Structure 1
Amino acid sequence: MFKNILLVTVLVVTFVSCKKENEIQVLNSSNYFDVLNKEFTGDLAFETTSFVEKYWRVVGNTGFNKSVYRIADELEKSGFVKEDVATSTDFLTYRIEKRPLEKPTWESVNAEVKIVGEETPLLQHSTNRNMIALNSYSTPKEGVTTEVVYVKDIQKLKTLNIKGKIVFAETSPSRIFKQAIVEGGAAGLITYSNPKYLQPKKNKTSIQFRAIPLNEDIKAWAIAMSYEAKEKLKAKLLKGKVVLNVNIETNIYPSEELTIIADVKGAKLPKERLVFSAHIQEPGANDNATGVGVALEMATLTAKFIKEKRFSPNRTLTFLWGDEIISTNRYVKEDSIRAKDIKWGISLDMVGEDTEKTGGTFLIEKMPDPSAIWTRGKDKHTEWGGRKMKLSEMKPHYLNDFLIDKFKEQGKRANWVVSTNPFEGGSDHVPFLKADIPSVLFWHFTDQFYHTDNDRIDKVSKTTLKNVGVTSLTSAFTLLNADKKTAKSILMNIEKAALSRLKEEQHQSEMSLAKGDSLKTQIAIISAWNNWYAKTALTTIDIVKDSTTFKKEIKKSQKLIDSMSLKVIKELGKKDSLKTLEN
């Protein structure tokens, strides 16, 4: 009898457990991370990255357009409907915008560079697909065979007889194009200019892609070199005259610009939206096939949740794939009514790195805050670099710390390193910011294969794709359905972040004072952070709208931040006075 009771108990427990495992979870703010970590696999992101990275992508060329239609196919499979045939009940729509290109598009086909008299090519396209500078024309079928002239000092280029010869220089080809090709009549250019962060002595075969102006009259060409090829050519030139045979095949032809946009329509506030932007052009895997792939899996997974009635966004979620900065800029500017309701913009750029291979770390590039003026302590610019900004250029908003908080949480869950950098620009977050729309960039740096032909699929991590996708969607879903409760949570996070920042800045200021820096400067820094966070607290009102009680909550937070700032300034004043007395 006891055995029968035990057996029945085991069966019931097993049945209940299986039912729970198979139970479809409705998404809400308390389980976004749990559900998305389970269901965002990274498979589609990786497969899409693998497809896109096969092509050297320029707007309008074969690889770019195939990528657009690949995205469209996947969107349709997941339930998105073409906008021009959609009905009022279709909440998942997409469109492909087509515009004629003012200039022809370009694609590389093949190339080889040989030192005359040697069998092994100096460079060949099959292993160095970045060797042909963008906008280069084809050579005659037999190639161009002529002497190469090494120009060590490019300032002396105008004094040299280079007509009909190949100019070899260690600089960007665009920098010497006019002097060497247009005015000097050179047959072509062969250049080297890999920056130090690419570790060229280690990555000897890497070539960072280069470009020259498109000149339909001269039909010029240029070759970019790897460190290995550059050193070999220089060694040959030390022994005497060197003749090169350069054979290039490219396609240059009229085309159209494609941009693909998918919308997940909000149920309650459809005009308000969050936009993810991922650019297709550029030849690499991490830059930026990964952004394309992550955005696509985010879009299709969101569609799945909506079809299964597990998630319903109050605001609209938009995904944009196109030409970096240009497509996003157009999206922001072409429809002023739409633009005023874009609440947040996020750029997905270089978001899938295997950092054990590429180096660097995942970064959130913050909206302009005082760290872009006074960069100290843990704040560091990347090797990509950033200019010192002005107080008038600051963009106080809760988006910075909200996203940092979400990504740090996923970092803890997945044992994943997440960091930040001060604003630098150069990607799809810039058009949003110029239009006063809160926006950040998700990316990786330093990357020792950045913009090189070694940025291939083997440098991509499916785990990273998943981590970025999970956290991006968690953040998006939270903002799309944000309400007063969300706003209060964000406000508390701002208080925490402000107090932590002021404490750190106090420490940095104390060290600066000890080194002899002025108290006036330190007070300016503390005051700038105080002002930034006080204004940041105020931006949370855009979630709650006209709430008198919430405005009181904001004022309480601002008073707390103000009091901490005054305390820090007072402490710094004491330190400075003691230092003066000691001296």
Structure 2
Amino acid sequence: MSTTDPGRRSAASRRRRLPSLLLLLAAALCAAACPAPPDHNPPPGTVAARPAGAAAGWFPDAFDSDLALSLVAFLEQRFREPGNAPYREALDELEARLRDAGFGDDPALRLERWTLHESAATWEPLAATLEIVAPEPEPLLSFVSGADRDRTMLLIGSPGTEQPLEAELVEEGEGDPKGRALLARGVPEESYARLARDHPAFILFRPDARWEGPVARDDAIPFAAVPAREDDPPAVRLSRRAERRLRERLDKGAPVVLRLAAAVRLDRGPVQMLHAEIRGGHLPGLAFAAHLDEPGAEDNASGVAVAAGLAQGIAAALHRVETPPPNRSLHFLFGPELDHADEAGRRLGRSLGWAVALDQVGRPPGPAGAADATRALVERAPDPSLRWPAGVGPGSGWLGSTPTAGGDWSDAPASFLPDALVALLRAAGGDWTSHPFEGGSDHVPFLSYGVPSALVWKFPDPTYHTSLDRLRPGTIDAGELRRVGDAMLELARSLAWEDGSVVAAAAASAAATRLAFLAGGPGDGCRAWAAWIERAAGDLERVLGPLATVEPTAGTLRGLRQDVQAGRAACPPP
């Protein structure tokens, strides 16, 4: 999840269940009573509509949480910026794992690299040390490889030092910064270029001066990016503990001299992404996108691990003779945040039905009752919840967002995808809820191409965009990865191998909830939601295709349409 600006998140730069449960139960009973159709491989151009649950036997233990966790462990050791050596290593590892699952060797399992930039500037932190040398020596921060905890102390894009630099410390606004170590006050992304013009030896940025808000722990070092040129001063981010030690030294009145040594690798090279495809029938495709860049375990090695694990599990099932091909193609996308989703939207947009962005999905929710407890979330596309929540949960709090203050949704595709995701994630385990659109992750580019999309994520996160986002208890949980993976697998099974009735039931339940919340007013909110639900129902029928005419899916959709008409009629007058 990134924070380039409040609209795009880059490093410099988330009830009434009874009707749904009854419908799902009925579908499950039908699946138990009715055997799957004997023709597992229908002729090309036809759609096999199997009852809910009929495909479950083809995917036993399809999501391997231990395998997913091992990928998180590999990725989080590498400071992954687009095109740099750790990013390329991560892409190679991901490709090797997918090839081991059969991608690239089978015409039905396609694997390809897409080049986003033929030659782009790349940056990699190699080592750095910041220490006090006078009046009394004291080490502050250091790392000797991109796997070390303090690796985020160098801001992304910062130049290195040809040799160690020694300079007297001065606070911004307290003296001439030229040739000195400048303790800055502002947010790096906004103030670096201005401060660099005064030619300090190097610049130190406070940990709590950031768009994401104050850090949660004294040893956390936030990462961010600065627009540095080759001859600009190095930029360092402090932990709260390191900042406190510097201020204690300054308060004693004696000059404080610092030494900084920093090694970075600046290069140029191609920036690539991976596209894995399970080829299926002619129904609109389903895409799962997870950005591979940024150094964290939760953000976003976790999302990559779930998407890759899903692809591996389905590919393994397809190697079994009895598993039929899907009714629609499934796409798995990995690359730089926003850019890889934009490329996928450009290349695949017209063929896609829905797209799911997986970004920060491994953190356990909680602690229960805490004001900053991590929530399990699905971010919606722009819709009337921006103004009338109607049972949609509150905003995530990301960047202090207040999404219910207003907004426009007239140009955004209407879709029940977020409601289906919430239902499936709850069924897999956990208190999931949707929240109004805030933007900034990989669902946004798909929306710009008219592809309905949603973001699956966890927030708030005390390690968000800091050095503490590493693989350890409390940050990434194998059970959480498995539950999210199981829910994504159920979405794929329902839409690609079965009759879509599970997804249709979730949509009908969500529509009833929205309309019930607004039956008593306000009238404009009721009418806005009714109009949106009608559009979303049309989108669902588009995604389902011929499956929309098969019972019980067809009956569920008829009931949904009737509920919309009744709800519209019950809306209070203007």
TM-score range, shorter chain: 0.7 to 0.9
Residues in 1 aligned to 2:91 and 2:498: alpha-carbon distance in whole angstroms: 32
Gaps of 5+ in 1: 1-24, 510-521, 574-583
Counterpart pick for 2:191 among 167, 170, 176 = 176
User: Is the aligned partner of 1:469 residue 2:485?
Assistant: yes
Shift of the alpha carbon at 1:329?
A: 0.4
Task: Please name the residue that 1:146 is paired with.
Answer: 167
Residue 236 in structure 1 maps to residue 254 in structure 2: no
Q: Which of 113, 122, 127 is the equivalent residue of 1:96?
A: 113
CA-to-aligned-CA distance 1:157-198 (integer Å, 9 cap, x gap) = 9xx5221112212322232222211x2112221011437998
Please say if residues 209 and 451 of structure 1, whose CA atoms lie closer than 8 Å, have aligned partners that are also in contact. Answer: yes
CA contact under 8 A between 1:386 and 1:425: conserved in structure 2?
Answer: no
Q: CA deviation at 1:39?
A: 3.9
Alpha-carbon offset, residue 356 of structure 1: 5.0
Q: Which residue of 2 aligns with 1:81?
A: 104
Q: Identify the range of structure 1 (198-207 vs 225-234) with the bigger mean alpha-carbon deviation.
A: 198-207
User: Residue 379 of structure 1: CA displacement?
Assistant: 2.1
Query: Aligned partners of 2:123 and 2:325: how far apart in 1?
Result: 42
Maintained 8 Å contact 2:109/2:315: yes
Q: Distance in 1 between the 2:548 and 2:191 partners?
A: 62
Equivalent residues in 2 for 1:241-280, closer than 5 Å = 241-266=255-280, 268-269=281-282, 272-280=284-292
Work out which of the two has the higher radius of gyration on C-alpha atoms and give 1 or 2.
Answer: 1
Count of aligned pairs: 507
Question: Is 1:71 the counterpart of 2:94 in the alignment?
Answer: yes
Q: Secondary structure at the match of 1:171?
A: coil
Once residues 205 and 382 of structure 1 are traced to their aligned partners in structure 2, the CA distance between those partners, rounded to angstroms, is 25
The answer to which structure has the higher helix fraction is 1
Q: Counterparts of 2:215 and 2:228 in 1: how far apart (Å)?
A: 31
Deviations 1:31-55, CA, capped at 9 Å, x for gaps? 5568757442301110001000000
Asked whether the equivalents of residues 326 and 497 of structure 2 are also in contact (C-alpha less than 8 Å), the reply is yes
Partner SS state of residue 212, structure 1: coil
**Which one of 103, 120, 136 corresponds to residue 138 of structure 2?**
120
The secondary structure found in structure 1 opposite 2:130 is strand
Correspondence list, 1:279-318, <5 A: 279-309=291-321, 310-318=323-331
Which of the pair has the greater relative contact order for Cα pairs under 8 Å at 6+ separation?
A: 2
1:33–1:407 distance in 2 versus 1, CA, 3 Å: farther
In the alignment, the residues of structure 2 paired with residue 294 and residue 503 of structure 1 have an alpha-carbon distance, to the nearest angstrom, of 35
Matched, 1:567 2:570: yes
The structure-2 alpha-carbon separation of the partners of 1:314 and 1:375, relative to structure 1 and needing over 3 Å to count, comes to closer
Q: 361-370 vs 539-548, which deviates more?
A: 539-548
When residues 329 and 539 of structure 1 are mapped into structure 2, their CA distance, relative to the original with a 3 A threshold, is same
Do the aligned partners of residues 35 and 442 (structure 1) sit closer, same or farther apart at CA in structure 2, a change above 3 Å counting? farther
Which among 141, 144, 154 is matched to residue 132 of structure 1? 154
Residue 400 of structure 1 and its aligned partner are, at CA, apart by 2.4
C-alpha spacing 1:202/1:496, structure 2 compared with 1 (3 Å): closer
1:402-417 pair list within 5 angstroms: 402-411=420-429, 416-417=430-431
Deviation of 1:355 after TM superposition, in Å, equals: 3.3
Check conservation: 2:59, 2:313, Cα contact below 8 A: no
Q: Deviations over 1:513-564 (max 9, x none)?
A: xxxxxxxxx2211111111112212223214548997999857633422323
- Residue 354 of structure 1 and its aligned partner are, at CA, apart by 3.0
Counterparts of 1:444 and 1:346, CA distance in 2: 14
TM-score by length of 2: 0.81
The answer to whether 1:525 aligns with 2:538 is no
**Distance change >3 Å, CA 198–CA 184, structure 1 → 2:** closer
What is the alpha-carbon distance in structure 1 between the residues aligned to residue 97 and residue 219 of structure 2? Answer: 35
Deviating 4+ runs (over 6 angstroms): 25-28, 195-199, 546-553
Answer whether contact 1:491 1:537 (CA < 8 A) is retained: no
Deviations 1:398-448 (A, max 9, x none): 22222222222212xxxx222222111111111110111011111110000
- Structure 1 residues 287, 312: closer, same or farther in 2, change over 3 A? same
Q: 1:565 deviation in Å?
A: 4.0
1:339 alignment partner AA: G
Contact 2:219 2:239 in 1 (8 A): yes
Going from structure 1 to structure 2, the CA distance change for 1:553 and 1:80 (only over 3 Å counts) comes to: closer
Q: What TM-score results when the alignment is normalised by the length of structure 1?
A: 0.80
Amino acid at match of 1:454: L
* Maintained 8 Å contact 1:286/1:353: yes
Specify whether residues 355 and 543 from structure 1 end up closer, same or farther in structure 2 by C-alpha distance, changes over 3 A only. Answer: closer
Alignment of 1:37-76 (within 5 A): 38-76=61-99
Query: Higher mean Cα deviation, 498-507 or 67-76?
Result: 498-507
Picking from 487, 502, 507, the partner of 1:494 is: 507
State the Cα deviation string for residues 207-232 of structure 1 (Å, max 9, x = none): 1102111313x243100011111122
Give the share of equivalent positions with the same residue, in percent.
Answer: 27
Distance in 1, matches of 2:69 and 2:112, equals 23
**Equivalent-residue separation in structure 2 for 1:552 and 1:35 (angstroms):** 27
Q: Secondary structure at the match of 1:128?
A: helix
Aligned partner of 1:17 in structure 2 is: none
Task: Please give the alpha-carbon distance, in whole angstroms, between the structure 1 residues aligned to 2:536 and 2:519.
Answer: 20
Given that residues 366 and 375 in structure 2 are in contact (C-alpha distance below 8 angstroms), is that contact kept between their aligned partners in structure 1? no
Could you tell me how far apart the structure 2 residues matched to 1:421 and 1:219 are?
A: 42
Code of the aligned partner of 2:484? V
183-192 vs 49-58, greater mean Cα deviation? 183-192
